[in-house]
Structure 1
Amino acid sequence: AFYGKGGIGKSTTSQNTLAALSDLEQKILIVGCDPKAVSTRLILHAKAQDTILSLAAEAGSVEDLELDDVMKIGYKDIRCVESGGPEPGVGCAGRGVITSINFLEENGAYDGVDYVSYDVLGDVVCGGFAMPIRENKAQEIYIVMSGEMMAMYAANNISKGILKYANSGGVRLGGLICNERKTDKELELAESLAAMLGTRLIHFVPRDNIVQHAELRRMTVIEYAP
């Protein structure tokens, strides 16, 4: 699972990582757990995928949906699902994550998949957003952060959530991924935070405009400029 502060680039980072994995002939399912529903758009070359919650609202309930209604196939046959969220100010987005994951399990979405990736909003580690951590849905959590204070604050909070459930389940913090924002001493700050959390800095992603160029075309970098 990929966690991180809103706007930090976790959806872009996760989709680029998964596109590279799919080039290695791995079968992948992406489960977007962010109300913005932007976890799959680079894979699908689309604006935003219809979400489980919005489709359920149209159909009447989640029980009225079929797996084919909510799952789209994108780049290199990557399977894509977005849980979505309620209208702003109404309901609980975390509850939507729980509903969506339960629906996917009941309908066999995980069959024949090598990797399942959860792309999760990490500003608020409430019960719903913590579900991949709490109920052993994810084995490894990667936190996307930068040298900015609030991004590191969110990373620390997410780590607390992982620690809370690590003993009761198999979930572990895989490491930090630093998305460079050109702040002062960013690499040193990221390495220092990783050391304090007892983890490692997996990768320091240098800022490069090619990522934005690819995003404008709704593509991953590996597809846009292989």
Structure 2
Amino acid sequence: MNGHYAIAIDGPSGAGKSSLARRAAKEFGFLYVDTGAIYRTVGLAAHRRGIDCHDEAAVAAILPELEIRMAYNKAGEQCMYLNGEDVSSAIRAPEISICASDVSSLPAVRAFLLDMQRKCAREDSVIMDGRDIGTVVLPDAELKIYLTASAEARAERRLKELLAKGVETDFAAVLKDIEYRDYQDTHREIAPLKRAEDAVLLDTSEIGLEESCELLYATIREHLGIN
């Protein structure tokens, strides 16, 4: 691969951004950055301290105490560390999903993490996914993609993931969580989830993972001219 590229993938919770972006990064030799995991790490820290994740002053007060670090294991998977502890599994608990959505709406948290995200793109060719990558974090990305699927399709996929990990839940609970996060993400005052004007729309409601991957790969090849 020649050149330095940034690909921004935005979309609602459970749309498959992480799974697809991770595969695409491996396919094209990019660094994958899961920004949702970074916000989940802050949410986990607040949750462990019993802090109301809507309370900006309380959350902001603990930010200087947080050492958040990303690392990649031998399989190329992103791991998150909080003050030296590997919290990659802990941040995936359903209750932390809610905390992540709540803290991500706080201006103090977004400002705290913004440079960390941009630094990744300055140093490597990246595929970065989140809620405001193409609109705020990397507005000059060479390719912006808005990846979406219906709430029901996303809930079904997320339920399978959670059950496979041994998390006890059901479809109704997962759908409620997704609909809550959709509302929070699209209605927050700072950097709400929305499609960038120049983003390519990919809807995967009716197709599976492999077809979605091929659609994403084709989009990257077409717009960036890389193989």
TM-score range, shorter chain: 0.3 to 0.5
Looking at secondary structure, tell me which structure has more helix per residue: 2
Q: Which has the higher contact order (CA 8 A, sep 6+)?
A: 2
**Structure-2-length-normalised TM-score:** 0.43
